[in-house]
């Protein structure tokens, strides 16, 4: 028998049956719900006269619609109240643990899962949200599902899936100063395209991943879906176990020892085969920034806006032209120096403590440029507390950033926190789609340090120029 | 769930790559418009100009393509967010079948849960079909034989995973079917409690 990949091993552990040829029924270890779709899924199950099959494995938090304004409540964002109250009511009625709006454990669902130790190596975790792939940074098999699938999981604690193909991306070499996890994954998307991972479960490997702290691995896995892959994973190692030890829902004592022993067998066999195997030279990667309306529209910060005229495929060319028009850019224009109106540092991609530290290192002792609105939205209450304990909030405030409450906020603008039409934003989130940060908003994706540098300079700037 | 057996309808070519679910249905509309009313809002950023008037160049606004029920799309159609309302919006706009070289993985699954047929074909075949989709001409898509017939009578075979095909042809209720497996799930759980006790909180 050929060797198995990390993905294969975790998949195999969860197979309950084969309800149809080529379809596996998989056991779901962790199901996370949020305010945007959670209550709807629960209600659908209830209306069918069914219950939650395993409420103890189901956890909920409001993140998408909640306001990020300091001192917020359910109704600070007018529309949010209904979503939050629906979720709260359903969770109460059905016995599901809810980390409510101002609970000490509230936050973006993909930030709190790992930090509470709900996400563990080898678990199968699903959520009605495409960035569920984030949890793969700890070696979980985690993917986003639609609302019909959410209802299926609630009612049965299982999910029907076809096995995807396997792809490995080896990030070899060392990251240059000023280069972040975000730059590695944006660079990869630029190389193989936003459809490059369609139909695959991706495993990220190589020296740069092994040296990367767990939070960075989560950032890499987070953008798997922007690569077209709904699953991204990193094999667990001592770094992972150190990160998880002692977290609220992580196993303790003997159970912990047994779990670690089990986890040590999860990394793929040396002779495991992948359908696609790609190697990226990390040494050559420079800080990245997107220019268009797909994450594959990305260049290094010292490069220029590409020319659609050089692209032969007419539909791709038209897509690029439409993107340039939407973004109000001209081919050949340098990325550096583009004037910026908004900066958003947050989202499940880049709102963890290490991200805020990287942004604060740039902000420290400097001022946000005049006319720029710069927001810091920590990913969770725990991140916010930890950052405040280090005084990061003071660094940001002194520089003129707003220090806000945890949630998705301007990543998706479901809470009515928009980048105004026509305004240019540098954002640490994961999608630069048309209208994503609000109708007409022009989004450039970048790392936290790059976003902080843009806020200080008032324009897209190579952060390395601000580093000592 | 709605069934899908066969369809004779206008087809509209929309080959731009990477049409994402935020474009298919923007968040603002998803939050404020009821499912059955999403039709006029599908593909809003492409379909309407900034002032809200119809964009005359957009294929579904052009004579001979209005009322198309088949979309011939570019790579990675439906990439991005897991929002099932992307499928609902296309459905409400009358679309029942999308043909593309590749799809966003979550959107692809969501289609089968809602009676929508996504067909994957090689890029060159998709381009041929798009070229054959002249205004006012109808295609036939037959799921029982897995054949697309172009207006000129060319037959193009396609493949759909058997389980997904079955689900569309019969309008399967997957929750009901899985619930019949309850004893198997319970046995898995009992066994798993021994094997991975830290999972079962
Ligand atoms: S932060 Fe953005 S991408 Fe992440 S879960 Fe929230 S809305 Fe989705």
Please answer yes or no on whether B16 and A129 come within 8 Å at the CB atom: no
Structure tokens at B16: 């731009």
Choose from A18, A140, A146 for mutation: most chain B CBs within 10 A. Answer: A146
In Å, how far is B73's CA from the nearest CA of chain A? 10
Instruction: Name the residue of chain B whose CA is nearest to A44's CA.
Output: B175
List the one residue out of A205, A225, A226 whose CA is nearest residue A280: A205
Q: What pLDDT shows up at residue B99?
A: 98
For residue B62, the tally of other CB atoms under 10 A from its CB is 15
- Distance in Å, CA A62 to ligand 1 centroid: 12
- Reading chain A (468 residues) residue by residue, the pLDDT tens digits are 789 999 999 999 999 999 988 999 999 999 999 999 888 889 889 999 999 999 999 999 999 999 999 999 999 998 899 999 999 999 999 999 999 999 999 999 999 999 999 999 999 999 999 999 999 999 999 999 999 999 999 999 999 999 999 999 999 999 999 999 999 999 999 999 999 999 999 999 999 999 999 999 999 999 999 999 999 999 999 999 999 999 999 999 999 999 999 999 999 999 999 999 999 999 999 999 999 999 999 999 999 999 999 999 999 999 999 999 999 999 999 999 999 999 999 999 999 999 999 999 999 999 999 999 999 999 999 999 999 999 999 999 999 999 999 999 999 999 999 999 999 999 999 999 999 999 999 999 999 999 999 999 999 999 999 986
Q: Does B173 touch chain A (CB under 8 A)?
A: no
Please name the member of B28, B105, B177 whose beta carbon is closest to the beta carbon of A230: B105
Whole-angstrom distance, CA of residue B112 vs CA of residue B171: 9
The DSSP code sequence of B111-141 is: HHTTT-EEEE--HHHHHHHHHH--TT-EEEE
Alpha-carbon span A100 to B145, nearest angstrom: 51
| Phi/psi-derived region of residue A183, left when phi > 0, alpha when psi is between -120 and 50, beta in every other case | alpha
Contact at 8 Å (CB) between A194 and A295?
yes
Measured by CA distance, the residue closest to atom 2 of ligand 1 is A411
What is the enclosing helix (H) or strand (E) of B8? strand B6-14
* Rounded CA separation A272/A269 (Å): 5
Of residues B20, B75, B84, nearest to A147 (C-beta): B84
Q: Yes or no: say if B105 and B131 are a contact pair by the CB < 8 Å rule.
A: no
| pTM summary value | 0.97
Within the 332-371 window of chain A, which residues sit less than 8 Å (CB to CB) from chain B? none
Q: What is the pLDDT of residue A290?
A: 98
Residue A64: closest CA among A95, A94, A32, A89:
A32
Exposed / middle / buried, residue A73 (Cβ in 10 Å: 0-12, 13-18, 19+): middle
Residue A468: its pLDDT value, please? 63
**Angle value at C-alpha B172, between A125 and B41, nearest 5 degrees:** 75
Q: What is the pLDDT of residues B125-161, one digit of tens each?
A: 999 999 999 999 999 999 999 999 999 999 999 999 9
CA distance readout (Å), A147 to A104, B34, B151: 28, 15, 36
Q: Reading across the β-sheet that carries B117-120, which strands appear in turn?
A: B117-120, B97-100, B70-73, B6-14, B138-142, B147-149, B155-157
Cβ-count burial A233-249 (b if 16+ within 10 Å, e if not): bbbbbebbbebbeebeb
Interchain CB contact of A436 with B (< 8 Å)? yes
pLDDT band at B113 (very low <50, low <70, confident <90, very high): very high
Nearest CA in chain B to A37: B83
Cα–Cα distance measured from residue B200 to residue A315, given in angstroms and rounded to the nearest whole number: 50
Helix H or strand E segment including B184:
helix B182-195
**Minimal C-alpha gap between A349 and chain B (Å):** 14
Among A351, A343, A358, residue whose Cα is nearest residue A454 = A343
Q: Which residue of A has its CA nearest to B26?
A: A435
* Pocket probe mutation, ligand 1, options A34, A68, A110, A404, max atoms within 8 Å of Cβ: A110
Atom in ligand 1 nearest the alpha carbon of residue A134: 4
CA distance B71 to A356: 44
Cβ-proximal residues to A101 (8 Å cutoff; 6+ apart), any chain = A62, A66, A72, A73, A74, A84
Q: Round to whole Å and give the CA distance between B76 and B19.
A: 7
Residue-level pLDDT at B134: 97
Record the tokens describing residue A124, joined without a space: 């199968």
C-beta of A135 in contact with ligand 1 (< 6 A): no
Mean pLDDT of B73-81: 97
């Amino acid at each position: 028998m050929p060797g198995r990949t990390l993905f294969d091993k975790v998949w195999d552990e969860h197979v309950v049956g084969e309800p149809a040829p080529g379809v596996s029924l998989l056991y779901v270890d962790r199901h996370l719900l949020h305010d945007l779709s959670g209550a709807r899924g629960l209600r659908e199950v209830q209306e069918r006269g069914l219950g939650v099959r395993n409420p103890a494995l189901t956890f909920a938090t409001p993140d998408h619609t909640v306001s990020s304004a300091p001192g917020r409540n359910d109704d600070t964002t007018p529309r949010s109240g209904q979503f939050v109250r629906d979720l709260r009511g359903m969770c109460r009625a059905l016995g599901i643990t809810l980390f409510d709006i101002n609970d000490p454990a509230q936050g973006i669902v993909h930030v709190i899962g790992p930090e509470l130790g709900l996400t563990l190596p080898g678990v199968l975790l699903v959520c009605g949200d495409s960035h569920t792939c984030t949890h793969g940074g700890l070696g979980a098999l985690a993917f986003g599902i639609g609302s019909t699938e959410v209802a299926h999981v609630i009612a049965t604690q299982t999910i029907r899936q076809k096995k995807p193909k396997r792809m490995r991306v080896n990030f070899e070499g060392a990251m240059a100063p000023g280069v972040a996890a975000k730059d590695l994954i944006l660079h990869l998307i630029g190389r193989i395209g936003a459809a490059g991972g369609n139909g695959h479960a991706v495993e990220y490997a190589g020296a740069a991943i092994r040296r990367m702290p767990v939070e960075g691995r989560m950032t890499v896995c987070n953008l798997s879906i922007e690569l077209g892959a709904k699953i991204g994973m990193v094999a667990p190692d001592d770094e992972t176990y150190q990160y998880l030890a002692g977290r609220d829902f992580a196993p303790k004592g003997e159970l912990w020892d047994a779990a670690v022993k089990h986890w040590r067998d999860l990394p793929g066999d040396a002779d495991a085969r992948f359908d696609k195997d790609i190697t990226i030279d990390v040494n050559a990667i420079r800080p990245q920034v997107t220019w268009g309306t797909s994450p594959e529209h990305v260049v290094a910060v010292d490069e220029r806006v590409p020319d659609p005229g050089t692209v032969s495929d007419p539909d791709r060319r038209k897509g690029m032209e439409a993107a340039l028009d939407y973004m109000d850019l001209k081919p050949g224009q340098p990325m550096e120096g583009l004037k910026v109106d908004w900066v958003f540092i947050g989202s499940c991609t880049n709102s963890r403590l290490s991200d805020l530290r990287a942004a604060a290192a740039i902000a420290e002792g400097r001022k946000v440029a005049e006319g720029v609105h710069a927001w810091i939205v920590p990913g969770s209450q725990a991140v916010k507390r930890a950052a405040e304990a280090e005084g990061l909030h003071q660094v940001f405030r002194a520089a003129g950033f707003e220090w806000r409450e945890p949630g998705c906020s301007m990543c998706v603008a479901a809470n009515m926190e928009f980048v105004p039409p026509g305004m240019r934003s540098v954002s640490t989130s994961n999608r630069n789609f048309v209208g994503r940060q609000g109708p007409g908003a022009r989004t450039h994706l970048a790392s936290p340090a790059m976003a902080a540098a843009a806020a200080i300079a008032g324009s897209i700037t190579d952060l390395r120029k601000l580093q000592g | 769930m709605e069934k899908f057996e066969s369809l004779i309808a206008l087809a509209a070519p929309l080959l731009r790559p990477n049409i994402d679910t935020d474009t298919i249905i923007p968040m603002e509309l998803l939050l404020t418009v009821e499912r059955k009313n999403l039709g006029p809002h599908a593909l809003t950023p492409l379909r309407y100009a900034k002032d809200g008037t119809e964009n005359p160049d957009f294929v579904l606004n052009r004579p001979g393509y209005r009322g198309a029920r088949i979309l011939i799309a570019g790579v990675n159609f439906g990439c991005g967010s897991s929002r099932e309302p992307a499928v609902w919006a296309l459905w409400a706009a009358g679309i029942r079948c999308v043909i593309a070289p590749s799809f966003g993985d979550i959107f692809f699954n969501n289609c089968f849960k809602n009676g929508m047929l996504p067909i994957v074909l090689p890029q060159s075949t998709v381009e041929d079909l798009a070229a054959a989709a002249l205004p006012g001409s109808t295609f036939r898509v037959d799921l029982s034989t897995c054949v697309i017939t172009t207006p000129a009578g060319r037959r193009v075979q396609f493949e759909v995973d058997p389980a997904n095909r079955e689900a569309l042809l019969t309008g399967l209720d997957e929750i009901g079917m899985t619930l019949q497996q309850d004893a198997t799930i319970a046995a898995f759980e009992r066994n798993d409690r021994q094997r991975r006790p830290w999972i079962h909180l």
